[in-house]
Amino acid sequence: MPRLLSPKTVAAGTLMSALSLTGLDATRAAAETDLAEVGGEVVSLDRFEVEGRSDQPYGASLAASAQKGSVALIDTPQSVQVIPEALIEDQGARTLADALRNVAGVMPGGYYENWDYYRIRGFDAAFATFVDGLRGGNGMSDELFALEQVEILKGPASSLFGQGPLGGLVNLVSKRPRAKPFLELGYTAGSEAFSEVTIDANRPLLSGERLLGRFTAVFRNKNSFVDQADSQRLHLAPSLSWRISDSTTITVLGKLSEYDITHAMPLPAKGTVLPNPNGPIPLNRFVGEPGTSRGEESSRAFGYELAHRFSDVLTLRQNLRYDHYEQRWTLMFYPGYLGDDGRTLYRYPYNYWQTWHDFAVDTRLEADVRAGGLRHQVAAGIDVFRKDLSGLGQTIDLSDLSAYVPLDLYAPAYGAAPLPELQPPYSVAEDGRTAGFYLHDHVTLPANVTATVGGRYDFTKQDGVKQEAFTPRAGVTWRFRPDASLYATYSESFDPQGTRMTTASGTPVDPERGRNWEAGLKTTAADGRLTATAAVYQLTRQNVATADPLHPGSYTLAGEQRSRGFEFDGRFAVTPSWDLVLAYAYTDAVITADNTLPVGDRTQNVPRHSGSVWSNYTFRRGALEGFGVGIGARCYSDQAGDLPNTFTLPAYALAELALSYAAGPVRVQVNVTNLFDRTYYAGAYNALYVLPGQPRTIRAGVTWSF
């Protein structure tokens, strides 16, 4: 892989750690001179190029998702974590869930394979993933090879990004062109017929580095550990970066993806996490029919990021993307109910076809003003999002129990039962519009104190229903030493609940609202070789829709949930050869008010205790020069499997191992996940939908860099 070149030494040997090039900051870093605060003065650094790794490959000092600007993480009054490409590569991660396991308070996994489910600080945050600072991801196995990094903003992000979950936001940052030419070819093979070819090609297209081009491609074929389930993916991502002038840069990003899957469905709780008189259900059991349960997805995306500097004070940025998706599910066999014998699963077939497109654009002005001894970093902008979806669905008469298709989970006889007649197709449509205005000011005060204040006003229109919301944010940081700060923050969120849940009067329920109180400690000690965040927080989720006891079929907003916790995230470059990543979270997320759910029940799929560790050592001299060893583990306490809490998913711990060797342009790597082949369950929806975790997998790959 290309490596990251360290910045030049400034101010008598002080080393500025490498910038984290995010979706909203990458084009600027390629075209502008960067600034660092040294001894209270602004020092101009010569422009440098980020090529890959540094001596601190897992660290980052900036993250655009935190502020929609270039505020250092240590001065951001919120916990923000960055998962860099180097860590993704070393761990052999292929899914977003693989990457998110490195972050405290983020619980990956769900109840279907091939989807990006995760909870942040006790609350579901899936299907709200951002891509390059814009909403619009579809939540179906986003391609990690095409990313430079993954950013996690914990706590509400509504004051900057609009409607979204209370727990936090995940932003995926696409790979972008670089000044130095390179070509990387990779091939990986492994367990379950895994086969993958990757290409990452980059080169200047015009002299003077004014036009740069990059192209990444992935072709992947793999089986599931579940019988008859498999998937194939083709992902192409071209990009161009054009430095129009010393003040203006535009980066164009494209994507073409084809994804074909035979789905592996979850299994009942009885026979997996609960006793079944028939014994354990084989975890590789396929509950569909041969040749069915097929899903196809095709997606296209095109967008750009524009940055124009009017002066040293004022900069204009615009970020735009258009996405087009098509999905087709053919005879998906969903579990309907488990028979009284505990072994017969009654399934219903389901066809679904849909197409949708979305358009997102964020335009803002950034001002960096010094007046009256204070520095103001102001971001003011507007973003707009539009989504149009149409589709057709088809299934059986779900009220007719005789129409369900039986399957013996212990002795399946596929094809023995005739397929029932499907009902006529029904149409599905979604028409969504959102627009938001935001204004934020990050003020540098005397005594190494900063204050962040701001808010956003949003207008949403979902299927003709209009709703509005204002979400504020306020925080403060104090650098009590140059490499450490204390912070405290208050922020709010809002999240529309759709148009299907209505009050007794027939009007859609109001959006959920959320409040976050948070305080913590951050450090970037030892010239950036140690970065850590410790945080305590309380989230209160209000306006949760719950059944109206006086009007069956209607809803009220009497529900409330609360999450309290402690988190620690640490990255340590112990030596130039040894990198260490640690994460621990205590999450107490419970129901505090509801008309149907018991007060005190835990929120779903959230362990109270979770932690992970990753240690990677590379020999840099001697007989073992070029060899690397990575060892990791992750542990989760038990989780509530449903609401109300009728069963739990047991606690589990998993280990992983990575071995690598690099010599010249060739790098060989072997990754083993679930090293001791433990049985575990990644998530659940209810007592009929429990997803077994991945057994031990072994993958070996070779990469040629030119």
Whether pLDDT at 46 is above 80: no
Q: Any bridge partners for residue 663, and if so which?
A: 666
Whether pLDDT at 190 is above 70: yes
Query: Domains along the chain?
Result: 9-163 (2.170.130.10), 174-705 (2.40.170.20)
CA dist 703 and 706 (Å) reads 10
Residue 291's pLDDT is 87
> What is the pTM for the complete model shown?
0.91
- Positive/negative CA dihedral, 241, 80, 118, 468: negative
CA dist 176 and 301 (Å) reads 15
pLDDT band at residue 38 under the 50/70/90 scheme:
very low
Question: Residues 296, 434: contact at Cβ < 8 Å?
Answer: no
Q: Which of 10-19, 184-193, 305-314, 460-469 has the lowest mean pLDDT?
A: 10-19
Question: Residues 365, 380: contact at Cβ < 8 Å?
Answer: yes
DSSP letter for each residue of 511-558: PEEEEEEEEEEEEEETTTTEEEEEEEEEEEEEEEEEE-TTSTT-EEEE
Residue 500's pLDDT is 79
Q: What is the number of helices (H) and of strands (E) in the chain?
A: 5, 39
CA dist 328 and 333 (Å) reads 14
DSSP 403: G
Residue 37's pLDDT is 38
pLDDT band at residue 372 under the 50/70/90 scheme:
confident
Residue 138's pLDDT is 75
* 40 against 433, higher pLDDT: 433
Whether pLDDT at 448 is above 60: yes
pLDDT band at residue 529 under the 50/70/90 scheme:
confident
Stretch (H or E) spanning 159: helix 158-161
Whether pLDDT at 208 is above 80: yes
- pLDDT tens-place string over residues 88-130: 999 999 999 999 999 999 999 888 888 899 999 999 998 889 9
Indicate the Cα dihedral angle 99, 102, 103, 104, nearest 10°. 140
Residue 83's pLDDT is 94
- DSSP SS3 for 417: coil
DSSP letter for each residue of 137-152: ---S---GGGEEEEEE
- pLDDT tens-place string over residues 560-595: 999 999 999 999 999 999 999 999 999 999 999 999
Cα radius of gyration (the chain):
25
